[in-house]
Amino acid sequence: MDLSKKHNIHFAGNPQAGKTLVFGHGFGIDQQSFSQIVPAFEQDYRIVLYDNAGGGKSDLSSYSYERYETLEGYVTDLTDIMAFAQGSHTTFIGHSVSGMVGTMAANRQPHLFDKLVLIGSSPRYLNDQETSYTGGFDEAALKALFEAMQTNYEAWVIGFSPMAMRNEERPELARQFASSLQALRPDIALAVARAIFLLDHRPELPKVSKPTLIIQTANDIVVPAVVSEYMERHIPGSKRIKINAQGHFPQISAPNEVIAALRSFV
């Protein structure tokens, strides 16, 4: 299997640079979501961009329900991509679910990673009463989410996009996210959503051995602030930055804020 074709891998930046940035995107979007971030680092870094299986311009023939039923399939993909890219002094920047994929990959193959950046990431979305953990969703909310996606995907997209994007004064951003979601095959979108929203990878956090930056926005419907606080407490030596941005996609809605946070860390 041609890994480059499977994940639509693109290289950017300075091929002679001794440092590498690898960007991993979240659900419903693709590598284009970092298009406003990449130029700020092109001079000093080698940059690797890719699309997750089932999304963007990845090779859909390589998507398998079985392989991607949990995040482990994505973790294997990422370690394959990292090895293929042969980066040096690599910082992995993962948005949303890719942040957790990167965390797990760095725990499995630590030699491939130097640093981790987690933007709007969560180890578990479902509240857990037994441990008093707040993830932001209860079982009824997730059941309703999956049912809405299954019953009328188009209608779900139209309702979910503005809530996730926020920035109501810039409705074009929500429209842009909606068109990205609409480009997904509804059956794959539902399978990916299940793999993400039903995950519980809290035990991965204390195992992290790499310097980690956690980026938190305001009014994130997907990942409330309490989750990033939990991650900061459980990832050894991690640093959390709250940036002046609304919603779940700051790399799209507030790129300069994300660039400033990244510069302070990488």
Summarize pLDDT for 66-108 with one digit per residue, the tens.
999 999 999 999 999 999 999 999 999 999 999 999 999 999 9
Q: Of the listed 30, 51, 114, 220, which one is catalytic? A: 220
Annotated catalytic residue within 7, 95, 201, 248: 248
Local structure of 115: helix, strand or coil: strand
Instruction: Mark whether 220 is an active-site residue.
Output: yes
Return the amino acid letter for 260.
A
Q: What residues are paired with 90 via a beta bridge?
A: 20
Q: What is the mean pLDDT of the chain?
A: 97
Please give the DSSP secondary-structure letter assigned to residue 137. Answer: B
Burial of 62 (C-beta count, 10 Å sphere; 0-12/13-18/19+): middle
77 contacts: CB under 8 Å, gap ≥ 6: 7, 52, 53
- Lookup: tokens for 69: 């039923």
Q: For this structure, is 98 an active site residue?
A: no
Give catalytic status of residue 7 as yes or no. Answer: no
Tell me the two tokens of residue 167: 């920035």
| The predicted structure's pLDDT at residue 1 | 73
- Count CB atoms within 10 A of the CB of residue 252: 25
From the candidates 96, 98, 161, 253, which is the catalytic residue? 96
Rounded Cα–Cα distance for residues 249 and 32 (Å): 12
As for how many domains the chain has, the answer is 1
Asked if residue 213 lies in contact with residue 118, where contact means CB atoms within 8 angstroms, the answer is: yes
- Concatenating the DSSP letter of every residue in 92-116 gives EEEETHHHHHHHHHHHH-GGG-SEE
The CATH number that applies at residue 70 is 3.40.50.1820
Residues of the chain short of pLDDT 70, as ranges, are none
Are 197 and 99 in contact, with CB atoms under 8 Å apart?
A: no
Which residues have C-beta within 8 Å of that of residue 147, sequence separation ≥ 6? none
pLDDT tens, 182-209?
999 999 999 999 999 999 999 999 999 9
User: Alpha carbon of 231 to those of 11, 122, 260: distances in Å?
Assistant: 31, 8, 21
Q: Can you give the residue range of the structural domain that contains 80?
A: 3-265
170 in Cβ contact with 253 (< 8 Å): yes
